[in-house]
Amino acid sequence: MAIADTAPYVVGPADERLLNRVREIADAYHRPQRPLHLQALLQLPRIADRWGNAARSAADALLSELAEELPRRDEWTIPELPQSPRALTFCEVAPETTAFVTQRFHYLRSPRRDARGYGLFTGAGTLVALCTSSPLDVPRLTDMLERDGRNPSNARVLSRVFAFEGAPKNSISYLLARAGERERRFDVRDYLTYVNPNLGFSGTSYKASGWSLLDDEPGTTYRYLDGRYITDRQLTTLFGKHDDRAYRALLGNRFRVSEMPLAPLLVFHRRLDATEA
């Protein structure tokens, strides 16, 4: 007689048991595996203990909820794509399209309304990959640039990156390189972005398009409103800028903060000026 597996998941990109369960639930709900895995890694720390363990029954229930919230598998796939991203058309993306795609498909579900969007399109006008450039308004990033001898007033943040399932290999690195060329026209000299290793990201596409690791940012913490991850910028927009104690007093049980240890965010940098090495 088989014994049911009731051991908790260890929340992290390397946990094979969690990945296998994500695969099973994604298939059951006809959702793509990778987006559901990203949601699992982002949302499960809310119910994980200080060691990163999430009870299996609660985690399975949450994974099913997350799968239902995602678009169906066929919405993530674009048929008959070319093998090379160079066969796609690069151009700016309308703000309403940028907002729709980042809200519906990007794992953060949080459009930057102040962003410039760039994308790769098929000949029929279907968006294949998207990235956005936003103003630099994070003091920690400003300090990092200044320590590196750069002028923050000529810098922007690569705030969102997304590619649909089946996008040609190297689509992201090609898109980032083209976006950097376009940003030079706006007198942008430095590009910064965060890479979150807690979600399994390593920055490979950035390194392939001229980026390098600038620094890391310790103290990673996830915050949740009404049971779902929320960015610090969203919290500030909705309720004003406060510390966690004030948010707890204001929002009560609607607000939660992750307890499990999380790796520092990585900050990648690309110089866009003529002196780039």
Per-residue pLDDT tens for 165-221?
999 999 999 999 999 999 999 999 999 999 999 999 999 989 888 899 999 999 999
CB atoms within 10 A of CB 234: 15
| Cα–Cα distance measured from residue 186 to residue 162, given in angstroms and rounded to the nearest whole number | 23
What residues contact residue 68 under an 8 Å CB cut-off, 6+ apart?
A: 29
Cβ atoms of 248 and 190 within 8 Å: the answer is no
Per-residue pLDDT at 84: 96
User: What's the half-sphere exposure (Cβ side, CA atoms, 13 Å) at 4?
Assistant: 4
Q: What are residue 92's phi and psi, to 5 degrees?
A: -70, 155
User: Which H/E stretch holds residue 216?
Assistant: strand 212-217
pLDDT tens for residues 35-77? 999 999 999 999 999 999 999 999 999 999 999 999 999 999 9
Cα–Cα distance for residue pair 121/89, rounded to 1 Å? 5
Name, in order, each residue with C-beta under 8 angstroms of 223's C-beta and a sequence gap of 6 or more: 229, 230, 232, 235, 244, 247, 255, 256, 257, 258
Triad 23, 25, 26: Cα angle to 5°: 65
How would you classify the pairing of strands 116-121 and 265-271? unpaired
pLDDT tens column, 245-272: 999 999 999 999 999 999 999 999 999 9
Q: How large is the C-alpha radius of gyration of the chain? A: 20
Task: Name every residue whose Cβ is closer than 8 Å to that of residue 195 and which is 6 or more positions away in sequence.
Answer: 201, 202, 203, 206, 265, 266, 267, 268
Of the candidates 75, 79, 114, 82, which has an alpha carbon nearest to the alpha carbon of residue 98? 114
Dihedral of alpha carbons 59, 64, 69, 75, sign: positive
How far, rounded to the nearest angstrom, does the alpha carbon of residue 120 sit from its chain's CA centroid? 18
**Predicted pLDDT at 277:** 37
Tell me: pLDDT of 5 over 90: no
Q: What is the mean pLDDT of residues 114-132?
A: 97
Categorize the per-residue pLDDT at 4 as very low, low, confident or very high, splitting at 50, 70 and 90.
Answer: low
Is the separation of the CB atoms in 176 and 129 below 8 Å?
no
User: d(Cα 65, Cα 32) in Å, to the nearest integer?
Assistant: 14
What is the phi/psi pair of residue 203, to 5°?
90, 15
d(CA 168, CA 37): 21
